[in-house]
A and B are shown apart, each in its own frame.
Chain A
Amino acid sequence: MSAVEARDLSVRLGETEALRGVSLSVERGEWLGLIGPNGAGKTSLLRALAGLVPFSGSVRLDGHRVGRATRRTIARTCALVPQIAQVPAHLTVAEYVLLGRTPHIGYLSTERREDRLAAERAIARLELRPFAERLLGSLSGGELQRVVLARALAQQASILLLDEPTSALDLGRQQQALELVDLLRRDERLAVIAAMHDLSLAGQYADRLVLLDRGRLVGEGSAQEVLSAERIAAYYDASVEVVELGGAVFVLPRRAGPERGHPR
């Protein structure tokens, strides 16, 4: 049984079809990279997988049917790290990570010993111990990203959905965050689906890439297969050069000559 099994998934947002008939499956321990231009449907796909928007088609997470199973069951199976997480500035790191235990805590009760232990493990795992009692409002962007990951980890779900997890970070923090996700994936055998902006990074961290365009799945495979200059030119409307170096694929934006560029 695959960890994530989506069949013929479509999402309507008002008048627009954000996602049209996408099918995909992800195994435990596998990292699937979602790429595609703005508005391609990456976020809609992640939200549909987590059961946060109405969709047609079917999604199974660890065998649980999204839409049939309770919200709580889905939340125990799959953790979503949104593109822009709401971080209430007044909570401490420990309190925020404890909120990740919500699907394991009775609706109207408060956390027990095992919840605090799970939160503590997540905090230790992301090297946040010295920050446990700091307020979220006092943290830097890189630290916050780790805190949000710790919350997702405390959820103890086997599937991790990441919506552009590194878009607000500098180069070094991006790499550190992605390395961390990779480490967690290996240790906990998580299925990771991550929407990513940076194509070179996406190619290096994901086992497999899925390219979306205007709600459709238009390419799937390894970085070498999906990341071709022609494809990227066609779907991103971008001028790029694709270079292979030491087995990794790099997508380099390259300015087209003035005679080919858009006139100003």
Chain B
Amino acid sequence: MDEPAEPSPSVRARGVPPLAAAAAALFLVGSLLVALTTGPLAIGVGAIAESALAHVPMLHVRSRLDGLEAAIVWQVRAPRVVLGALVGGMLAVSGSAYQGVFRNPLADPYLLGVAAGAGLGATLAIAYASAADRGGELLPLAAFAGAVCAVAAAYVLGRSVGGAHTTGALVLAGVTVAAFMTAVQTFVQQQRSDSLREVYSWLLGGLDGASWHQVLVMSPYVAVGSAVILLHRRVLDVLSLGDEEAASLGIDVRRTRLMIVAAATAGTSAAVAVSGLIGFVGIIVPHTIRLLVSSSYRAIVPLSLLGGAGFLVLADVLARTVLAPDEVPIGVVTAFFGAPFFAVVLRTTRRIGM
């Protein structure tokens, strides 16, 4: 047989189709612009662009915005939009990673107890710390710590009983830890019924009060967490063959799973710490990409990052405009609009391959 110098174009991994990449990028940019321009004060894209360019030396662009308008755009809307993008992208990427690692289409970033742990941490902070103490970093820190502890406990418990069936045992351990932590959280909440309202509103999640400081604090977690998962995109495809076949191809399945779970947990815990519990993003975004583009994690992981960011930014626009000046909890928006959309996608596509 003649040795071909170059491999045939048909023998390749599809990766991210260029069209899908362009569409996802466009979706994200569009969402960001819509979010920056939408609000009680109408400010156009052009004015925002001028205001941004005015900061660039040598260009001599003058901003049309007055001080108040500039402050609304750059100190109120922009940090909120960026934070929403980071949280949405992280939740979607973590969701895709969990679905791959556990080979379970229903896996979401909260599978191993992140939500319950963060809920417990936040409730303890709200119930037992004085308002002054938790004005600063205490509440997000407690939520983050609770989330990480929950997953660590689930992992240790799952490993100790797992044996050969590690994924199943891990999921059950996650359910166990979550149930326990939720019980403690409910108990604390009942003991301190004066904190009920605050706990409830935290649990519902939201991006109000977002600041550049929050963006700064959470970006390293999102950067590292999503980078680790992105680097594993091919390995996630190998894991879809099952633990044993992946091992026979030279993958250390346990170490790989630990690494991916740790990365997803760090990122998700940081997201939850700044935004509360926002459901549904981690399931709906990866599945929509699975159905519309490809079920290879090489496509799902990067596109989830872009799609999740755009999706949550748009959801937040709805959350703050539908009942303005009141806010609808963003988790309500993601589920209320996400679920019917997902149903349509499910109906109009044939493939539901995991």
Contacts and interface: CB of A to CB of B under 8 A. Distances in A.
Nearest to B241: A86
Contact of A102 (B10, B11, B244, B249): B249
Contacts of B235: 107-108
Given A71-B251, A113-B6, A120-B11, A88 B353 contact: yes
Interface string A92-121: 101101111011010111110100110111
Categorize the interface residue count of chain B: 35 or more
A1 interface: no
B13 A110 contact: yes
The dominant DSSP class at the B interface is: loop
A47 B164 CA distance: 13
Contacts of B4: 117, 120
Contact of B11 (A51, A52, A119): A119
Contact of A75 (B3, B8, B10, B249): B249
Interface in B259-313: 290, 294-296, 298
Contacts of A94: 10-13
A21 interface: no
A123 B11 contact: yes
Contacts of B241: 85-86, 88, 99
Contacts of B250: 70-76, 102-103
Contact of B13 (A98, A117, A124): A98
Interface centre among B7, B234, B244, B249 (most CB of A within 10 A): B249
A82 B244 contact: yes
A120 B1 CA distance: 12
A89 interface: yes
A73 to B, nearest CB: 8
B232 A90 contact: no
Interface string A196-239: 00000000000000000000000000000000000000000000
Contacts of A86: 240-242, 245
B208 interface: no
Contacts of B247: 51-52, 71
B278 to A, nearest CB: 28
B198 interface: no
Interface string A111-154: 10100110111011000010011000100000000000000000
Contact of A88 (B1, B11, B240, B252): B240
B351 interface: yes
A256 interface: no
A91 interface: yes
A218 B295 CA distance: 47
Categorize the interface residue count of chain A: 35 or more
B97 interface: no
B296 A90 contact: yes
B248 interface: yes
Contacts of A116: 7, 11-12
Given A52-B248, A75-B250, A91 B7 contact: no
A129 B240 CA distance: 24
A88 B295 contact: yes
A71 B253 CA distance: 10
Contact of B232 (A73, A82, A108, A120): A108
Nearest to A91: B296
Interface centre among B231, B242, B250 (most CB of A within 10 A): B250
A113 B13 contact: no
A85 B237 CA distance: 15
A97 B13 CA distance: 10
Given A86-B242, A90-B295, A91-B296, 13 more contacts: A47-B244, A52-B244, A71-B251, A72-B250, A76-B250, A82-B248, A88-B241, A90-B296, A90-B351, A90-B354, A94-B13, A102-B249, A155-B249
Interface of A: 47, 50-52, 70-76, 79-80, 82, 85-86, 88-92, 94-95, 97-100, 102-103, 105, 107-111, 113, 116-117, 119-121, 123-124, 129, 132-133, 137, 155
28 contacts: A50-B248, A70-B250, A71-B251, A75-B250, A82-B245, A86-B242, A88-B295, A88-B353, A91-B240, A92-B14, A94-B10, A94-B12, A95-B14, A95-B296, A102-B238, A107-B235, A108-B234, A109-B234, A110-B234, A116-B7, A117-B3, A119-B11, A120-B8, A120-B11, A132-B8, A132-B11, A133-B10, A137-B353
